[in-house]
Amino acid sequence: MLARDLLEALAGGDAVSGAALARRAGVTRAAVWKQIEALRLKGVPVEARVGGGYRLPWRTELLDAQAIKAGLAPGTAARIGMLEVHWDIDSTSSELARRVPVLDDLSFVLSEAQSAGRGRRGRTWLSPPGMNLYLSVLKRFDGGFASLSGLSLAVGVMLLRALAELGIRTPGLKWPNDVLAGNAKLAGVLVELSGEYSGPCAAVIGVGLNIRLPDTLHERAGQPITDLASLMGGDPPNRNRIASAVMTELAEGLVAFERHGFAAFADDYAANDLLRGEPLRIIDPRGEYDATGEGVDERGALRVRRANGEVAIVDSAEVSVRKAAP
C-alpha cells in the first residue's frame, strides 16, 4: 500500500479499520501502520481509535487533472500548455524550472505534497498532502526582466479574484507577495526568472494556498497562518474546484500582464493593499527604520513615508517589511 492509496481510502472522513485497509490493499496490517506513520510525518493528522480504526478529521478530495480541466472557465483549457498533477515532488516550481526549454507557455504543475517547497528568501513552505494547494505555472515573456516589474503583486490580485469567484472576499494583500486574512497568511507567491535580461525570458510562478491546516502546522509555521476552512466555517470548496478557479485567473491574468504590465492590476492592488497607511518597520541591509505605508508605485515598488516626511522607495529584493510595534 502506498501513502497515496491510504489517503484516498480515508478521504471520506469515515473511520476505516486497519484490517479493512489491509484487505483492500492486499498487504499486512503492519504495512498499513507504516504508511499511516509516513502520512503523519508529512503532516497529515490521521487519527486512530482503539476498536474504531483510522480516520481523518475531515473529508478531503485528492487532486485530479481531469476534474480540474473540467472546472476551468470556457476557453482556458485551450489556452494552457500542460497540466500535470503529482503525488509528491521536491517542489512544483523546481519541476517546471528543470523543463523550461521544452514546455509550452502556461504549463502548470500541481502536487499533493512537496518535500522542498519554497517561500520567499529561501524559507520553507510546509506542504503536507491532501490539505492545501501547491501549484506553479510557466509564463514566457518577450520584453525581458524589466517588463516584469510588479508581477508578484499582479499574481496576488489574480489570487484574490479566484477567491472572490469562490465566494471568499475577506483577504487582502501584503507587499510584496502575501495574501492575508485577519493578519494571518493565507497564501504566498514566489516568482523566479530565467532567460535574457533584455530579451526573451521565462517566469516560473509558484503559489501556495492554505485550504486546511492542522494544529501542528500552525505550531511549525513561525508566523500567524490561516486557511480557507477557517474563513468558511469549516466547509471550504473542494480542492479541484479551487485549483480550477486559481488556474483560470492565472491563465487569463498572466496574458493581461503580458500585454499591459502591472498597470492592468494597479487599481485592484491599491483597493486591497493592507500596508497603505499602516506603521511599518523597514529592515534594510543598510539599516532599519520606521515609516508609514504609502501604497506602491507604477513598478510595484513599495512607497513609504519616513518620520522626516521623506518618501522612500523600497525594492522587494532588498528589504522585508513587518507591522511596527504600537
State the catalytic residues: 120, 185, 322
CA 189/CA 216 separation, integer angstroms: 23
Sheet with 172-174, strands from edge to edge, namely 82-89, 107-114, 133-141, 201-209, 184-195, 178-181, 172-174
With residues binned 3-state (H G I as helix, E B as strand, rest as coil), the percentages for the chain, rounded to 5, are 35, 30, 35
Instruction: Point out which residues pair with 279 in neighbouring strands.
Output: 292
Half-sphere exposure of 181 (CA within 13 A, CB side): 21
Q: Any idea what DSSP says for residue 111?
A: E
- The answer to whether the peptide bond before residue 176 is cis (omega within 30 degrees of 0) is yes
Under DSSP, is residue 106 helix (H, G, I), strand (E, B) or coil?
coil
Gap between the Cα atoms of 313 and 45, Å rounded: 44
Q: What is the Cα 207 distance to its own chain's centre?
A: 3
